[in-house]
Each structure stands twice: as structure tokens, then as C-alpha cells.
Amino acid sequence: MNIIPAIDILGGRCVRLYQGDYERSQIFNDNPVDVAKRWVDEGATKLHLVDLDGAKAGQPVNQKTIEAIIKAVDVPVQLGGGLRNYSAVASVLALGLQHAILGTVAIERPQLVSNLCQEFPGQIIVGIDARDGKVATKGWLETSEVLATDLARQMAKLKVAGIIYTDICRDGTLKGPNIEALRELATVVNIPVIASGGISSISDLLKLLALEPTGVEGAIIGRALYTGDISLTEANQAVGQGRWQDVPPDLGYSAFA
């Protein structure tokens, strides 16, 4: 399972939100490029960027910072936030991104998702951000009536490269991932699922590792890395050496089977 550090950019700074609330942001570093270099130095094999300003504005905002990060590191980079039309996706992929992450348009313009998957095969990921099982849109500012599992099935048929599932109620809280929701989502699609939101400990990662046979192949970690609750080096070691049998008895696979 791949451990992917998150770098959320707001106003040109590296921040973390609490449950997607822009009014409850915490600045961790004024220079996201330095943060990117740090995570790569500590063993990151991929980076997850979010243009929070872009998510709110409906179009990319922090392109210069994003391009600087891509040029500064030698690992793949994926980006979400404000990618709601063809030109926005094409422009950020031209910067050298491995994956562009679509959110709002997955609900509002599924045909666009299909077209982008054909134009950029293997480079389009859909981020499904859910609140109480229903998909949130427009930078988490609105909640639809669409179920996350239904959207996942639809996107899999369009041949997206993967799905990033974020439980907004867990994001930034350090309360652990929503294992049940992830298990359900991973079992309804046959494409890779990446977990995001609430991951706070090595034990959380081992729980996710237990789900790996069903399709959960990555974990995006944000706040826990910045607060020191998780060491990236130790996390990579634990996941690289671990198997679901290594999960402590009180966190065992049977709890999720």
C-alpha cells in the first residue's frame, strides 16, 4: 500500500482544514515546495496536492506553486481542486502531473469525465468526497443527494484510473478512517481505491492494509504527518513489512470481514 503525503495549498501556503471548513484552516508552512521536498526526502514515492483556492473558485489558482513543486521533486504528483473543464485539466497535466483529480464535474458533467479519460488515458482520477455517505461538491461547500457508491460505479464504467475516497467528517480530525465506507466502496468497483481522511496512526494504516485485497491500494495522509502523529519513514516501513495478519487482535481483519 502506497503512503501518499498531502499538501493542501491555500493562499500559497501549506495548510490543513478541519472537516473541509475553510474557516478552520491551520497554516503549517509558508512554502509548499519545501514541504514537498521534505516528504520526498523522508521516503514519499508520490505526492497529493490540493488547490484549495481552486476548489473554491472553480478553476486552478495556484499553478505557479504546483509547477514549482513538480520541478523540485522526482516523484509522481497528483492534483485536485478546481478542475472542472477540459482546458483546466489539460493545462495542469501539461505541467507534468501524473494524475488530475476530478471532483465536482463527476456529478455535474459525467460526459466530460468520459471524454477526458479517452483523451488522457490512465491520467484521470475521480475524488469522491462524502459526507454521511453522500457526495459533496464545490470544494465541500455543498452536499448532493448522490450516494458515493453509486458515483463510484458510474466512474468505473467510464474507465477512470482510480478513486480517492475522502470522508469529510473524518478529514483533519485524526479520528481514523471510515473503514466501513471504504470497504463498501472498494467492493463495488474493480479499479484502485485510495483512502483519505482521518488517518492518524500506524494502526489506522494497518486497518487499511487489511482491506487491500478488496482494492484499497493507497492512503493519503495529511494532518497526522504535520503534527508528528505519524512518521512517514516509520509508516512506509510498517506498511512495507506488514500484512493483515500483523494487525493487533483488537483491530483484526475479522472486524472488517
User: What nine digits make up the cell of 204?
Assistant: 489506522
Q: Give me the catalytic one of 8, 53, 171, 204.
A: 8
**Pairing outcome for strands 134-137 and 124-131:** antiparallel
Burial of 29 from C-beta contacts in 10 A (0-12 / 13-18 / 19+): middle
Neighbours of 138 (CB within 10 A): 16
Marked catalytic residue, from 129, 167, 171, 204: 129
Question: How would you class 172 by CB atoms within 10 Å of its CB: exposed for 0-12, middle for 13-18, buried for 19 or more?
Answer: buried
> DSSP string spanning 159-182?
T-SEEEEEETTTTTTTS---HHHH
Residue 17 backbone zone (phi > 0: left; psi -120 to 50: alpha; other: beta): beta
Whether 63 contacts 71, CB under 8 Å: no
User: Distance between CA atoms of 129 and 245, rounded to whole angstroms?
Assistant: 30
Q: Is 8 a catalytic residue?
A: yes
Tell me which residues are annotated as active site: 8, 129
